[in-house]
Amino acid sequence: MSPELSCLYELTANLKEHRKYRHPVREDLASAYAAAGLPPEERVIRRFEYLCRTETPVIFPGERICFLRTSENLPDLFTPEEWDSIRENHYIHELGFHSNLCADYEKILQHGLLAFRTDTNARSIDALLALTERYRQEALKKGREDIASVLSRVPAYGARTLREAMQSFRILSFALWLEGNYHNNIGRLDKFMGPYMESDIENGLLTEQEAFDLLCEFFLTFNRDSDLYPGVQQGDNGQSMMLGALPDRENGFSRFSMLCLKASHELKLIDPKINVRVNKDTPDDIFTSCSELTKAGLGFPQYSNDDVVIPGLEALGYSPEDASDYTVAACWEYIIPGVGGDIPNICALSFPGIVDTCLHRDLPGCKTMTDFLGCIKEEIRRKCDELTDIRNVWFVPSPMLSTMMDYENGVPRYRNFGMHGVGASTAVDSLTAIEKYVFDEETVSAAELIAAVDEDFANAPELLHKLRFETPKLGCDSDRADALLEWLLGTFSDELAGRRNEYGGIWRAGTGSAMYYLWSADEIGASPDGRRRGEPFAANYSVSLFAKPEGPFSVLASMTAPDLKKVINGGPLTLEFHQSMFNTPEAVYQVGQFVKRFITLGGHQLQLNAVNAETLKDAKAHPEKYPHLIVRIWGWSAYFTELEEAYQDHVIRRQEYCL
């Protein structure tokens, strides 16, 4: 790191100097807007204009990419009474603002905002450019003619250099958050930013080292405001980027792609969150380089398998061109930059909840496992009927975001909905236990199993032990469990197939859990796999917390058994490797080969954590000692000490694998 970059790192990562410039916004804009009877879009524009006026230009010594959020909150646009009225007639997804979309940053970087200025967005663009001009004037006051020169160009006009492109991106991202959008995805950064670097190096404007230092500073900017972005937990802010799959590169990765991995490794910060696209032909050195980043303990990169994802998206109706351009949303859901308007996380189906319902209602009357699986299938269908009955979805208008999308006449090319399939391993292990003991061996009656579950196994300790520790489980070389997983995911996908949402879009099945691995687990009691009341499900597409696989390769065999193209809404296999697995170059290489094995077996998505449970326990007891300890939660990484206890405990309980 250069001295200037080291100083900026210290100000951002350690001293949090940027937070000292924040001020609360206390104006009750919602009441004023309500009194004036302003329509929603006018409110959005007026608030954006107001916030741009009240922002304070801040330029740190030595920085080259500026724009700092100084308003620490966004005033409400609607009064509580107005929100109640809106909800009476509409379905409001999350906060009611646009999220999990990926803007077409490339077109704005190339042409500038003024090229897309219309009557609809003119006031928002003008307000942002007025703030940019105030920053330019502040730069001149500080004798920073270099910054002033860049801001005289972008984002009004197209960027010509890497620095201009990065500054333009920073302002555009800033604007999306200030407008109220959230989980604003970064997209395929190496695809649209890398060419600027190559041009600068070719023309002698930058050396590779200078470009790397600028990239590190660019990455730092993602960590200045991220605690202000809404999410379930700190770190859940949506700042995910995708690397790889560049069509003009034999291995899919450019020099810029590799520098992004290097920058993330050097900075060791939670943002931006790195995702990579790979396939069965990706060279070993790419997997090794990515494993070096995993070694740093950041919980990324997250891998997506083009060999599975692209045909899976095409089968759902995405054009080959768009499917090949996919990125991920805040966590893992597959979205298309610029043209996609999908809501990939609109709801979740609890597989253990399905099993619990059928256990109590249907199991006593079933004579065979086939009968019981028929009941499971019918309950999945009934639940899908209920969950897909979503009408009148409403979002707060967003002129700035609309400017940065490529919608035809304001309509996205894709308006599909995605449903999480939560707790697959708990459900499969429960079905395995029912098949083995109730139907095959007939050693446990339906009544006995139901009573034990309802009593949280308080009066059945021997059965609890048998179910929890002696019964075959997913990931443990059980053909029975693997077959049931394939059946369960296939049934889920088939039940969603053919359904249409109110926009005419399809429903996508997925294997992600988001926060539901805690929330859904709290909704039911104990389960037939030996999970007791209050114990969580595994995160995402993972084996049970108390499964004891012989090793991670048996997990791969189980979790790649189904045709994962059918559940391509996304949802990664999540594994924790003990930090000792990364002690030597050979060990790092072996981790890379493990990832490659997952890809060649047909896995769709994978994320790895390098953890040490003893360190995590000590961090929980002494948080002041571990301010920078990072862990992967469900589809994003966070500082361990900032998490709620339930999320901390879940990470600690996960299986630590060794190769």
H helix intervals, 73-115: 80-89, 105-111
- Indicate the residue type of 27: E
* Cis peptide, bond prior to residue 155, ω within 30 of zero: yes
Which pLDDT score is estimated for 244? 98
Average pLDDT over all residues of the chain:
95
Q: What is d(CA 197, CA 123) in angstroms, rounded to the nearest whole number?
A: 32
**What is the mean pLDDT of the segment spanning 145-159?**
98
Determine phi and psi for 650, rounding to 5 degrees: -65, -45
Strands (E), 45-169: none
Higher pLDDT, 302 or 638: 302
**What is the mean pLDDT of the segment spanning 163-184?**
97
**What is the mean pLDDT of the segment spanning 614-620?**
92
Which pLDDT score is estimated for 261? 98
Q: What is d(CA 306, CA 602) in angstroms, rounded to the nearest whole number?
A: 10
573 — pLDDT class (breaks 50, 70, 90) = very high
Higher pLDDT, 366 or 656: 366
Look at strands 240-244 and 273-278 and give their pairing. Answer: parallel
Rounded to 10 degrees, what is the CA torsion of 61, 66, 71, 74? -160
Residue 74's region, left for phi above 0, alpha for psi from -120 to 50, else beta, is beta
What residues pair up with 456 in beta bridges, in sequence order? Answer: none
pLDDT digits (tens, 9 = 90+) for 228-275: 988 878 888 889 999 999 998 889 999 999 999 999 999 999 999 999
HEC letters along 221-239: HCCCCHHHCCCCCCCCCCC
Is residue 649 within 8 Å of residue 554, measured between CB atoms? no
Q: DSSP character for 74?
A: P
Q: What is d(CA 414, CA 213) in angstroms, rounded to the nearest whole number?
A: 38
pLDDT digits (tens, 9 = 90+) for 344-363: 999 999 999 999 999 999 99
Alpha-carbon distance values, 418 to 11, 413, 509 (Å): 40, 16, 6
Alpha-carbon distance values, 152 to 60, 67, 167, 193, 288 (Å): 19, 14, 11, 20, 42
Which position has the token pair 């407008």? 179
pLDDT at 322 over 70: yes
53 three-state secondary structure: helix
Q: What is d(CA 253, CA 257) in angstroms, rounded to the nearest whole number?
A: 6
Which pLDDT score is estimated for 103? 97
Which pLDDT score is estimated for 143? 98
Residue 442's region, left for phi above 0, alpha for psi from -120 to 50, else beta, is left
CB atoms closer than 10 angstroms to residue 500: 12
pLDDT at 42 over 70: yes
656 — pLDDT class (breaks 50, 70, 90) = low
Residue 545's contacts (CB-CB under 8 Å, 6 or more residues apart) are 535, 536, 538, 650, 653, 654, 655
119 three-state secondary structure: coil
pLDDT at 412 over 70: yes
Which pLDDT score is estimated for 230? 84
Which position has the token pair 């959005």? 44
Alpha-carbon distance values, 301 to 242, 260, 290, 455, 464 (Å): 9, 11, 7, 42, 38
Look at strands 302-305 and 605-611 and give their pairing. Answer: antiparallel
Taken as a whole, the chain contains a residue count of 659
Rounded to 10 degrees, what is the CA torsion of 209, 211, 214, 215? -100
**What is the mean pLDDT of the segment spanning 145-149?**
98
pLDDT digits (tens, 9 = 90+) for 8-29: 999 888 888 999 999 999 999 9
Determine phi and psi for 74, rounding to 5 degrees: -105, 120
Q: What is d(CA 626, CA 640) in angstroms, rounded to the nearest whole number?
A: 8
**What is the mean pLDDT of the segment spanning 96-110?**
95
Which pLDDT score is estimated for 436? 98
286 — pLDDT class (breaks 50, 70, 90) = very high
Is residue 344 within 8 Å of residue 335, measured between CB atoms? yes
pLDDT digits (tens, 9 = 90+) for 597-610: 999 999 999 999 88
Q: DSSP character for 301?
A: P
Structure tokens at 30: 């919602």
Rg of the chain's alpha carbons, rounded to an integer?
25
Is residue 654 within 8 Å of residue 607, measured between CB atoms? no
The DSSP code sequence of 421-438 is EE-HHHHHHHHHHIIIII
pLDDT digits (tens, 9 = 90+) for 448-476: 999 999 999 999 999 999 999 999 999 99
Which pLDDT score is estimated for 236? 86
Q: DSSP character for 503?
A: T
Per-position b or e across 387-400, b if 16+ CB within 10 A of its CB? bbebeebebbbbbb
Is residue 238 within 8 Å of residue 182, measured between CB atoms? yes
Which position has the token pair 């010594």? 61
658 — pLDDT class (breaks 50, 70, 90) = low
The DSSP code sequence of 531-566 is PPTTPPPPSSS---TT---SSHHHHHHHHTSS-GGG
* Cis peptide, bond prior to residue 39, ω within 30 of zero: no
Half-sphere exposure of 219 (CA within 13 A, CB side): 28
Which range has the worst mean pLDDT, 124-138, 187-201, 483-497, 642-656?
642-656
pLDDT at 41 over 90: yes
Q: What is d(CA 118, CA 123) in angstroms, rounded to the nearest whole number?
A: 9
The share of the chain scoring above pLDDT 90, in percent, equals 82
Q: What is d(CA 144, CA 323) in angstroms, rounded to the nearest whole number?
A: 44
pLDDT digits (tens, 9 = 90+) for 576-594: 888 888 889 999 999 999 9
pLDDT at 611 over 90: no
Helix pair angle (351-361, 446-454), 10° resolution: 120
* Domain limits, the chain: 3-184+187-221, 240-332+572-659, 344-563
Structure tokens at 556: 């791969």
Instruction: Please name which of 273, 211, 279 lies closest in space to residue 247, comparing C-alpha atoms.
Output: 279
Is residue 568 within 8 Å of residue 308, measured between CB atoms? yes
Q: What is d(CA 559, CA 543) in angstroms, rounded to the nearest whole number?
A: 8
Q: What is d(CA 211, CA 60) in angstroms, rounded to the nearest whole number?
A: 20
Residue 447 Cα to chain centre, angstroms: 42
Instruction: Please name which of 653, 575, 564 lies closest in space to residue 616, comparing C-alpha atoms.
Output: 653
Is residue 573 within 8 Å of residue 264, measured between CB atoms? no
Is residue 221 within 8 Å of residue 170, measured between CB atoms? yes
Is residue 327 within 8 Å of residue 184, measured between CB atoms? no
